[in-house]
Structure 1
Amino acid sequence: MGYGFRKHAAYWAAAAAGAFTNTVFGVLRAYVLIALWRSRPGLGGYDVTDAVTYCFLTQAYIGPMQVFGGGLELPQRIRSGDIALDLVRPASLQLWCLSEDLGRAIYLFLARSVPPTIAGALLFGIVTPGDAGTWAAFGVSFLLGVIVSFGWRYLVALASCWVLDDRGLSVMSMVLTTFFSGLMLPLVLFPGWLGTLARSLPWAAMVQVPADVYLGKTGVARALAFQAFWALTLLGLGALATTAARRKVVIQGG
């Protein structure tokens, strides 16, 4: 984990640029949501301040949750052939990648999540939990969201062992995560069966659920159980995929 933190801390200028970009887009999104909620008060059970808070929370999640995909070096190592060495090492490839990814998430939380949130609080005002229990629940929910995000991205990255070009999978992952995580709009606004489906998929555990825990819009036990289920499910699938990769791997260039 420390290695992942130090590696990403070396690119502080990129993190600063990302924080600035997240802040700018957060301001633009906030004005759109303010206009929407003023025309439809109480939409989705949120008021205007909740909507603005949700906006800047989701902007803050982009870096740590790696919402747009990537963040893992597996596809590059598969193309170079280095994955063959990774798979024969006694250490678990999945746990090694998870440890590094947690270090990355911690650094990006400090470098890319905190500045946009502070900017949102100063410019618009945001909801702040008033008790330690909510903060603790949010911390656990945030960590589980990072693990769910890793579990999904690990599966997408490891699929490069069997496909010749991972770009299509990466684009598909980005589209699904952006749409179904609640990054663009709260999933409670999705109508009928689409909303029910979206709230039951793993991507909701990355953005929508941690935001609702912070805002107090969901039961904590149920929310954490939902995230834990998807974290264990995706990690389990990743372990099975890693075992399969040890038996048959298509290596490009190695």
Structure 2
Amino acid sequence: MPSSGSAGPRSFWLLARAGLRRQSTYRLALLAGMATNSAFGLIRASIVLAALASAGSRIGGYDAPTAVAFVWWGQALLGTVNLWGFSDIKDRVRTGDVAVDFLRPVDPQLAYLAADLGRAAVNLAARGLPTLAIGALLFELTWPPGALAWVVGLGSVCLAVVVAFAGNFLVNLLAFWLVEVRGIQLVWMITAGLFCGLYLPVPWFPHWLRTIAQWSPFPSMMQNPIDILAGRVVGADVWGALGSQVFWAVMLLAVGQVVLRAGRRRLEVQGG
């Protein structure tokens, strides 16, 4: 079986645009997601403010506006960063259709990544930003301190999408060796939700649990971009947060390539 090539810039852009167009067809789903995220944003913001009022001061470097910004940016990024995983690749491995992916002149990992970036762009524009606007109307939020911080924050969101995709891609690739990976996907989803800062800010964790989280890729999926966009992380600390995201993006994508090639060899042995 011939090896697949690398996606050039034009191919990558076309695949990203295809992912964007595919996701944009689900308009009612985007509207429903925005409404759901906004409703839970109200609940989460109220709980966080109650916790701060009980503490009587900051918690883990968060005051009321910063904590509320954490909540609403988190709700805005829920549809953008894919924490819940996907099943396209494992399904194609199970049916054998993944062999077609290997025959294409585009690397499968880059092809799926391009489509996921297109999906993320639609969700951020049509679902995330309206959710954030509702939060800004109802609560006092902190914001990035300047135009550069906005640009860096959006770049951090892109890196978060890549890290989440790369992790989910790896879990899907286990289908080359396992009959069913749904259990592993569930464990990944629960672990990611806890350690990425979806439920509580990672700085609020006990020291031992915070240490575990910081040594994992999960804060790069949500905590880091939220801290930048909420204005909690500024100055030199921003580059540290971005550096962590770049490290995990490169590491997970590289491991994904190794596992993908090992899976390809296994597929040839099984199917000829």
TM bucket (normalised to shorter chain) is: over 0.9
* Residue 128 (1) aligns with residue 130 (2): no
Matches within 5 A, 1:146-165: 146-165=161-180
2: distance between equivalents of 1:158 and 1:82?
13
- SS of residue paired to 1:109: helix
Cross-structure match for 2:256:
238
Q: How many percent identity over aligned positions?
A: 37
Offset of residue 67 of structure 1:
1.6
* Residue 225 (1) aligns with residue 228 (2): no
RMSD of Structure 2 on Structure 1 (CA): 1.6
1: distance between equivalents of 2:113 and 2:226?
23
- Return the letter of the residue paired with 1:61: L
* Residue 181 (1) aligns with residue 196 (2): yes
Matches within 5 A, 1:17-96: 17-40=32-55, 41-70=57-86, 73-96=88-111
Instruction: Tell me if the contact between 2:20 and 2:119 (Cα under 8 Å) persists in the aligned partners.
Output: yes
Relative to the length of structure 2, the TM-score reads 0.89
2: distance between equivalents of 1:67 and 1:182?
11
Which of structure 1's runs of 4+ aligned residues deviate more than 2 A?
A: 215-218, 249-252
Cross-structure match for 1:193:
208
Offset of residue 250 of structure 1:
9.3
Instruction: Tell me if the contact between 1:162 and 1:249 (Cα under 8 Å) persists in the aligned partners.
Output: no
1: distance between equivalents of 2:27 and 2:267?
35
2: distance between equivalents of 1:68 and 1:55?
18
1: distance between equivalents of 2:267 and 2:176?
5
Out of 92-101 and 82-91, give the one that drifted further.
82-91
Instruction: Tell me if the contact between 2:202 and 2:213 (Cα under 8 Å) persists in the aligned partners.
Output: yes
- Return the letter of the residue paired with 1:14: A
1: distance between equivalents of 2:112 and 2:59?
40
**Change in CA separation of 1:32 and 1:244 when aligned onto 2, cut-off 3 Å:** same
Instruction: Tell me if the contact between 1:79 and 1:251 (Cα under 8 Å) persists in the aligned partners.
Output: no
Instruction: Tell me if the contact between 2:145 and 2:231 (Cα under 8 Å) persists in the aligned partners.
Output: no
Count of equivalent residues: 251
Offset of residue 172 of structure 1:
0.8
2: distance between equivalents of 1:246 and 1:87?
8
2: distance between equivalents of 1:231 and 1:167?
23
Instruction: Tell me if the contact between 2:66 and 2:232 (Cα under 8 Å) persists in the aligned partners.
Output: no
Q: Deviations over 1:159-213 (max 9, x none)?
A: 1222111210111111011001000000001112211121221010011111111
- SS of residue paired to 2:198: coil
Of 90, 98, 101, the match for 2:113: 98
Instruction: Tell me if the contact between 2:34 and 2:130 (Cα under 8 Å) persists in the aligned partners.
Output: yes
- Return the letter of the residue paired with 1:58: G
Listed as ranges, the gaps of 5+ residues in structure 1 are none
Relative to the length of structure 1, the TM-score reads 0.95
Q: Deviations over 1:200-250 (max 9, x none)?
A: 210100111111112333311111111000000000001101111110039
**Change in CA separation of 1:12 and 1:187 when aligned onto 2, cut-off 3 Å:** same
